[in-house]
Amino acid sequence: MRPALDAVLFDLDGTLLDTAPDFFWTINTLLAEEGRPAMDFPALRAQVSHGARAMVQTAFDLTLDDPAFNQLHPRMLALYEQHLDVDTVLFDGLDALLEVLESASIPWGIVTNKPERYTTPLLNGLGLASRAGSVICPDQVNQRKPDPESLFLACRELKVRPAHCVYVGDHIRDIEAGRRAGMCTIAADYGYIDADDNVSNWQADHIIRHGGELLPLLHSLYSLDNLNSLDESV
């Protein structure tokens, strides 16, 4: 008999939300202010999961100890804060999935390394804050992913069992955190992944290449009879 599914947890940038377009605007605005040529979208997209520091480093070819980095990084964050929910959207297939989970009373949540300062207004702007059962940012824990602390906290908030939860992410640290929490791990190969990175090496339990693949996968893994009549139109 297949196990029950208690909850589905998502990483944020590159897994649940396509935030790259707003970061693209931010970085290129900063580059323009500095009289630099614009950055190509694919090169920027691959850096989003590494965070703002990596995007600034890549765009300006800087190291973290370069004095220019200490000036550009806070300016980049200030620009992003003004433009964080303009072009960001859910990845294809995930809005329908969330609606199915909600209709079946299966909670979903977000566990991200994105600071609360940006996560909360972003989710509010997209109307997702009230829908997520739990949103865990690094501000709320002592150890960031790949430590599993944030995943365990999400489970406590949702009152669910980690072993009956799924964690979906687009970075090896997400998969490591999920494995260490004892969850089923799903790698989002559609996310913000370096060209030389091989998702197959992350040791995820499963790999999906489009958001629309997640619901059929969940059906194959878990006892979801209560979803059969709900997801026919998805």
Average pLDDT, integer, range 1-7: 86
> Would you say residue 180 has pLDDT above 60?
yes
User: How does residue 228 score in pLDDT terms, banded at 50, 70 and 90?
Assistant: low
Contact predicate 149/155, CB 8 Å: no
* Residues paired with residue 185 on neighbouring β-strands, in sequence order: 167
Give residues with Cβ within 8 angstroms of 212, minimum separation 6: 92, 93, 96, 234
Do residues 158 and 135 make contact, with C-beta atoms less than 8 angstroms apart?
no
Axis crossing angle, helix 52-60 with helix 20-33, rounded to the nearest 10: 40
- How far is 190 from 51, CA to CA, in rounded Å? 17
Q: Look at domain 7-18+90-227 and name its CATH class.
A: alpha beta
Mean pLDDT value of segment 5-15: 97
Q: Can you give the residue ranges of every domain in the chain? A: 7-18+90-227, 20-82
Predicted local confidence at residue 224, as pLDDT: 65
Stretch 183-208: mean pLDDT: 96
Torsion of CA 15, 16, 20, 22, to 10 degrees: -160
pLDDT surpassing 70 at residue 233: no
What is the percent of the chain with per-residue pLDDT over 90, rounded to a whole number? Answer: 88
Is there a contact between 93 and 211 (Cβ–Cβ < 8 Å)? yes
- Which sequence positions are flagged as catalytic? 11, 13
Classify 108 as helix, strand or coil: strand
Average pLDDT of the segment spanning 33-49: 93
- The closest alpha carbon to 150, from 10, 30, 40, 55, belongs to 10
Average pLDDT value for residue range 41-45: 92
The model's pLDDT over 136-166, given as tens digits with 9 standing for 90+, comes to 999 999 999 999 999 999 999 999 999 999 9
| Whole-angstrom distance, CA of residue 203 vs CA of residue 210 | 19
Can you give the pLDDT at residue 1? 67
For the packed helices 149-158 and 172-180, what is the interaxial angle rounded to 10 degrees? 60
90 pLDDT exceeds 50?
A: yes
Q: Return phi, psi of residue 204, to 5°.
A: -70, 155
Question: How much is the mean pLDDT over the chain?
Answer: 94
Give the highest mean pLDDT range of 3-7, 66-70, 151-155: 151-155
pTM, two decimals, is 0.93
